[in-house]
Structure 1
Amino acid sequence: MNKRRVDVNVHEGKLIGIVEECVYGGNYIAFRGIPYAKPPVGELRFKDPVLPKPWSGSKDASKYGNNAVQMDKFSRQIIGNEDCLYLNVYTTNIDPEKKQPVMVWVHGGGFYIGSGDATSFGPDYIVKKEVVLVTLNYRLGVLGFLNLYDKVATGNQGLKDVVMALQWIQKNISNFGGDPRNVTIFGESAGAAIVHYLAISPVAEGLFHKAISQSGAATNPWAFTEREPPSTNKGFQLAEKLGKATTDAKVAYEFLKKIDVKKLIQTQEQDLLTVEEHQQFLLPFSPSMDNESSNPFFPKPIKTLINRGVKVPFIVGYTNAEGILFIGSDAFDLSTKEALKRVDSDFKSAILPRVLSKLPEIPITVEELRSIYFGDKAVSEETLKNYADFFSDEAFYPGLIEVVDIQIQSGHSSTYLYNLSYENEACPTRKIMNIRLPGVGHGEDLFYFFYPHMMKDLGFVPPESDSEQYKVINRCVQMWTDFAKTGNPTPTITDLIPVKWEPLKTGDTYNYLNIDAELRMKTFRKEEQRWNWKNMKMKL
Structure 2
Amino acid sequence: MHRTLTTLACTLTAALATAWPTPPAPPPGPPLLTETATTATSATGAATPAAPTTVRTPSGLVRGAAHGGYRTFEDVPYAAPPVGRLRWAPPRPPVPWAGVRDATRPAHACPQPAGEVPGGSTDEDCLHLNVTTPDDASPARPRPVIVWLHGGGLTTGAGSSYDAHRMVTRGDVVVVTVDYRLGALGFLAHDGLPGSGTFGLADQQAALRWVRAGIGAFGGDAHDVTLAGESAGGYSVCAQLASPAAAGLFDRAIIQSGPCTGRPERPFAPSAVPLSAARTTGSDFATRAGCGSARDVPVCLRRVPVARLLAAQDTDQHPAFDTPLLPGDPAAAISSGHFRHLPVLLGGNHDEGNGWAAGIIQAGNPVTPATWPDVVSAFFPAPGQAEAIVRAYPVHATDGGPVFGAVIGDADFACPTERTDRLLAAHVPVWRYEFADEHAPPLTPGTPPFPLGAPHASELPYLFDLGGRPRDLTAAQHRLADTMIDYWTRFARTADPNGPSSPHWPQGTSLSLSPDHVTPDRTTGLRHHCAFWDTLG
TM-score (norm 1): 0.82
Q: 1:387 to 1:537 in 2, by over 3 A?
A: closer
Cα distance in 1 for partners of 2:181, 2:374 equals: 33
CA distance in structure 2 between the partners assigned to 1:166 and 1:530 by the alignment: 38
Equivalent-residue separation in structure 2 for 1:34 and 1:333 (angstroms): 42
SS of the residue corresponding to residue 404 of structure 1 reads helix
Post-superposition offset of 1:73:
2.3
Matched, 1:451 2:468: no
Aligned position for 2:33: 4
Does the Cα contact within 8 Å between 1:126 and 1:450 map onto a contact in 2? Answer: no
- Say if 2:376 is the partner of 1:351: no
> Whole-Å Cα distance in 1 between the matches of residues 351 and 524 of structure 2?
18
Which amino acid is 1:530 matched to? H
Cα deviation, 1:352-385, whole Å, max 9, x if unaligned, reads 20xx37xxxxxx443222222235x6xx864111
CA contact (8 A) 1:325 1:433 kept: no
Pick the aligned partner of 1:299 from 322, 327, 345.
327
Moved more, 392-401 or 337-346: 337-346
Give the AA of the match of 2:513. Answer: I
Residue 373 in structure 1 maps to residue 393 in structure 2: yes
Match of 1:137 among 160, 172, 179: 179
Structure 2: give runs of 5+ residues left out of the alignment.
Answer: 1-29, 35-52, 264-268
CA offsets 1:29-77 (integer angstroms, 9 cap, x no match): 1100000000001111111111111111111111111101111227984
1:174 lines up with 2:216 in the alignment? yes
| Residue matched to 2:345 | 315
Amino acid in structure 2 at the alignment position of 1:60 = D
Shift of 1:245: 3.7
Q: 1:73 aligns with which of 112, 115, 119?
A: 115
2:3 aligned partner: none
- 2:514 corresponds to which of 513, 516, 532: 516
State the SS of the aligned residue for 1:535: helix
SS in 2 for 1:33: strand
1:437 corresponds to: 451
Is the partner of 2:443 in helix, strand or coil?
A: helix
Question: RCO higher in 1 or 2 (8 Å CA, sep ≥ 6)?
Answer: 2
Distance 1:297 1:433, change over 3 A: farther
Contact 1:125 1:451 in 2 (8 A): no
**Structure 2 SS opposite 1:192:** helix
Query: Given residue 255 of structure 1, which amino acid in structure 2 is its aligned partner?
Result: C
After superposition, the Cα gap between the structure-2 partners of 1:301 and 1:286, relative to the gap in structure 1 and judged at 3 Å, is closer
Distance 1:153 1:200, change over 3 A: closer
Give the distance between the partners of 1:231 and 1:395, measured in 2 at CA: 21
Structure 1 position 255 matched with structure 2 position 300: yes
* Aligned counterpart, 2:507: 503
DSSP-derived class of the 2:201 partner: helix
Q: For 1:435 and 1:64, how far apart are their aligned partners in 2?
A: 35
CA contact 1:78–1:266 (8 Å) conserved in 2: no
Distance 1:146 1:342 in 2: 41
CA deviation string 1:215-257 (max 9, x = no partner): 11331124334237679822111222233445x9x74323322
Instruction: Choose from 100, 114, 123 the match for 2:157.
Output: 114
Pairwise CA RMSD of aligned residues? 2.9
Q: Distance in 2 between matches of 1:147 and 1:91?
A: 37
The answer to whether the 8 A contact 2:159-2:178 is kept is yes
Provide closer, same or farther for how the CA distance between residues 403 and 436 of structure 1 changes in structure 2, counting only shifts above 3 A: same
Deviation at 1:154, TM superposition (A): 1.3
Match of 2:312 among 255, 261, 267: 267
- CA gap 1:342/1:298 in 2 versus in 1, 3 angstroms: farther
What does residue 404 of structure 1 align with? Answer: 421
User: Matches of 1:430 and 1:406 in 2, distance apart?
Assistant: 34
Provide the residue aligned with 2:37 in structure 1: none
What's the CA shift for 1:176? 0.6
> Sequence identity of aligned pairs in percent?
26
Q: Aligned AA for 1:234?
A: T
Matched, 1:332 2:332: no
Instruction: Classify 1:228/1:90 alpha carbon distance in 2 versus 1 (closer, same or farther; 3 Å).
Output: closer
Letter in 2 for 1:388: G
- Once the two structures are superposed, residues 80-107 of structure 1 have per-residue CA deviations (whole angstroms, 9 ceiling, x without a partner) of 4111100011112242652111111110
Partner of residue 276, structure 1: none
Q: Does 1:160 align with 2:160?
A: no
Unaligned runs of 5+ in 1: 21-25, 273-282, 358-363, 505-510
AA at the equivalent of 1:469: Q
- Distance in 2, matches of 1:128 and 1:75, equals 28
2:486 matched residue in structure 1: 478
Single out whichever of 512-521 and 529-538 deviates more from structure 2.
529-538
Query: Which secondary structure does the structure 1 equivalent of 2:259 belong to?
Result: coil
| Alpha-carbon separation, structure 2, partners of 1:350 and 1:43 | 42
Q: Partners in 2 of 1:382 and 1:428 — Cα distance?
A: 21
